[in-house]
Amino acid sequence: MSFSTTMIEFLKKFDENPFCVELKEKEYLIGEGEPKFKVKFKKELSITDLMQSTSLALGEAYMRGDLIIEGDLYHALDCFLGQMSKFQTDKKSLKKLIFSSNSKRNQKKEVSSHYDIGNDFYKLWLDDSLSYSCAYFKNDTDSLNEAQQNKIERILKKLDLKPGMKLLDIGCGWGSLLIQAVKEYNVTGQGITLSQEQYNGFTKRIKEEGLTSQISVKILDYRDLQKQNWQFDRIVSVGMIEHVGRDNYDLFLSNVNSVLKPQGIFLLHYISALKEYPGDAWIKKYIFPGGMVPSLREIIHICAEYNFYTLDVESLRRHYNKTLLHWYHNFNEHRNEIEIMMGTEFTRMWELYLCACAATFHNGIIDLHQILISKGINNDFPMTRWY
């Protein structure tokens, strides 16, 4: 059997949505019916590579330009990635990639590899607030700026902030949530991050807004929270627990517990999964080294060990799909600038990341949950929905 035949035979199992494959000037139909998209292979892919990691083999081929999608990239991935359960992953040979070290030094390195690419890069395709997390679309016509503002407002309302309270943001990004909380609710804010670029950007914004007496930001590992002489009325963490690793979820919540006052409230906003998967090899190698997506049930389970009471759980899966499509649109609006800044292979890698994530949210492979948690059962908190 030739390499071409072997490769086509491998691809035939992804037949839920028909598509066309072009290889060596020949076309092959996968599935039945009118093809929904077309894939052109400039080079054959090794069946060994496809079997070791289907995700890595296809992803790297796309990055190199050896795999071309004719038509809309998101549409093609949306049709294809619903079948990720059929992907092959040799966890033994990819052990170091899939299960990387959770040491402080390595986790800072992994966080920096993504968030320290450069603030100028992120400014090109994020909204004005530089919110790099799921937005909330109250209306279908909301702009990305409006939706990110909606998200921040929704989180702050859930936290039921009162003047004079102290708010901690674990993984504070470029600081928009804390800045708005201080301005609207007259609280004091503390942010922590492992990203030097985010620290620099947030520090600059604090000075520009004249909020140096009300907001502080520090480069700090969450594991060092319990060593700080801090106590907070409210804690929020948006899109950060995905970086701590499955073995450290308990440690993360232990540190939250150590700085949250009795009767305090904690909101955890994070990408979730239905089950406890080890993660995707391509995403771990190129986008989020060490990234691990918690399931909803394992976080809820650990919360009970700290007598954290779950007040509210909300899925924003479809909102993240739409957020990513907005980011992808903005990315393409600045594609030439990004290609000059970052190079062609990086640009193809990043567009694949944005579209693949949008497709996996749409297909329910991953989800987005906000969990509102109370440290205490009879605190002064609304009995009905407050948002």
Is residue 357 flagged as an active site residue?
yes
Residue 364's nearest CA partner among 315, 292, 314, 312 is 315
Residue 318's nearest CA partner among 347, 285, 273, 358 is 358
d(CA 387, CA 383) in angstroms, rounded, equals 12
For 194-240, where are the E strands, in sequence order?
215-219, 232-238
Rg (CA), the chain: 22
Are 258 and 225 contacting, i.e. CB atoms less than 8 angstroms apart? yes
The CA dihedral of 146, 152, 154, 155, to the nearest 10 degrees, is 160
H or E element, residue 273: none
d(CA 202, CA 355) in angstroms, rounded, equals 28
d(CA 184, CA 175) in angstroms, rounded, equals 14
Residue 135's nearest CA partner among 150, 125, 123, 124 is 150
Edge-to-edge strand order for the sheet containing 38-41? Answer: 26-30, 19-23, 38-41, 67-70
Are 107 and 290 contacting, i.e. CB atoms less than 8 angstroms apart? yes
Give the number of other CB atoms < 10 A from CB of residue 260. 26
User: How many residues in total does the chain contain?
Assistant: 387
d(CA 329, CA 219) in angstroms, rounded, equals 32
DSSP state of 138: S
Active site residues: 357
